[in-house]
Amino acid sequence: MLAFPDGFLWGAATAAHQVEGNNTTSNWWVMEHAPGSPMVEPSGDAADHFHRYPEDMRLLAEAGLNSYRFSVEWARIEPERGFVSRAMLDHYRRMIDTARDNGLDPTVTLMHFTVPQWFQKDGFWRASDAVDLFSRYVETVLPILDDVTYVCTINEPNIAAMLAGGEDASNLVAYGLPNPDLAVADTLLDAHHRASEILHSRSGIQAGWTIATQAFHSTGEPGADEMLAEYGDPRDHWYLEQSAGDDFVGVQAYTRTFIGPEGPRPVATNVETTLTGWEFFPAALELGVRSAWERSGGVPVLVTENGIATADDTRRVAYTQGALEGLHRAISDGIDVRGYQHWSALDNYEWASGYRPTFGLIGFDRETFARSPKPSLAWLGEVARRNAL
C-alpha cells in the first residue's frame, strides 16, 4: 500500500465557464457565437452546475473526496465595467459554504481563462490598466474568501499567453502549441503578484497560480536539447521559475510532447491516444511535479488538474492509478505535495473541442442534466478514504 501524507487533499476540479452554463457576459461566449467560430459548438447550458452544484458537491463527498476546486466567474461578478453583482458574490459564497458543509475543502480559482466581454473589448491583457482592473476584481472577491485556504489567482497563464497570441484556440489540442504573447505573459505575472498581495491581506489564505506542465521530451538528436529549451522556456519553464516565493504552485499535467531539432513532433502513430489526441502518458504528472519543485526552488505543490479524456472509464482508472503512483514517488523523494485534484469532476465543455472529450468522474445527460457517477469516481473516492493506493 502506498500511503500519502496526513491531511492530504483528494478532490476534483471544474472551471465556471465549462460547467455552469449561460456565461453570456464572458468573452468566450462571444467567440463561440461569432460567425466562422473555430469552436465545435457553443457552451450553452453546459452542465447547469450553476444551479446543480449542491448535488455535484454531494456526489463528490459521498464518494469519499475531501476537496473541490472551482472557479468564480469575473464576467458574472462584474458583467459591466465598474458594476458589481452582489447576487453573484453571494452565489459564490454559497458555493464555498456548500463545499464546507459537505466536508470538501474549497480551492477557489479567480480567473480560469474567461474574462468579461468589456475587459476584452477595452484592450484585454494588453490594456495599460489591465492589472489595475484585475486587482480591483480580486479586492471585490476577497470578502467572500474567508476560511478558504488555497486560492489560485490565474489558471494556466502559460496557456492564456498562447491564446492571447492571436492564433486559433483549437491549436491547443494539437501537438504544436501556439506562440505565446510575451508581453501578455509579463502582464499576467504582474497581475498574479498584485493579486497575491491582496489575498495576503487576509490571514490564512495561501496564494499561487497554476501551470500547465508539458513534460517536453528531447528526441536526443543533435540540436534537440537546445530546441527543447528554446521552445519550452516561454511555454512552461519560465512560469514555474516565476512561482518562486509563492505559497504553492498548481501543477496541471496530462501528456508529453517530443521535441526534435526542428521543434515539436506529432504524436507517434503506435501509441495509445485520448479523445483529445494526446498520448496516454500517466507519468506526465510525476514529471510535472518534479519540474515545478525544482524550477520554483522548492515551492509546495498542489496538483490542481490531472486526468484523461476517454469514453472508456477503465482507462481513466488505469491512467489515474499510474499518475498517482508517480506522484507518490515524488512525495517519497521529499517533494512537498499538498493534494491531488482530478480533472474533472464533471464531463464538461472543453473549449474549442466542445463536449466530445469526456474528462469527468461524473457524466450528465445534455437534455435532463441527470448526473451519472462513473466507476472512476468510486475508485478515486476509495483511494481518498484510505489516503493510500
Enumerate the active-site residues.
156, 305
- Residue 309 near residue 274 (C-beta atoms within 8 A): yes
Q: Cell for 183?
A: 508581453
* Alpha helix (H) residue ranges in the chain: 16-19, 27-33, 49-63, 74-77, 86-101, 117-121, 130-141, 157-163, 182-199, 224-232, 238-241, 284-296, 313-332, 375-386
Examine residue 218 and say whether the peptide bond preceding it is cis (omega within 30 degrees of 0).
no
What residues pair up with 213 in beta bridges, in sequence order?
253
What residues contact residue 197 under an 8 Å CB cut-off, 6+ apart? none
Q: Phi then psi for 64, rounded to 5 degrees?
A: 125, 0
Q: Cell for 26?
A: 464572458
Q: Can you tell me the distance from the alpha carbon of 24 to that of 346, in angstroms, rounded to the nearest whole number?
A: 21
- Residue 142 near residue 201 (C-beta atoms within 8 A): yes
The β-bridge relationship of strands 249-253 and 301-306 is parallel
Q: Which of 111, 43, 22 is nearest to 348 (CA)?
A: 43
Q: Can you tell me the distance from the alpha carbon of 91 to that of 78, in angstroms, rounded to the nearest whole number?
A: 13
Judged by DSSP in three states, 165 sits in coil
Q: Which of 156, 342, 176, 372 is nearest to 259 (CA)?
A: 176
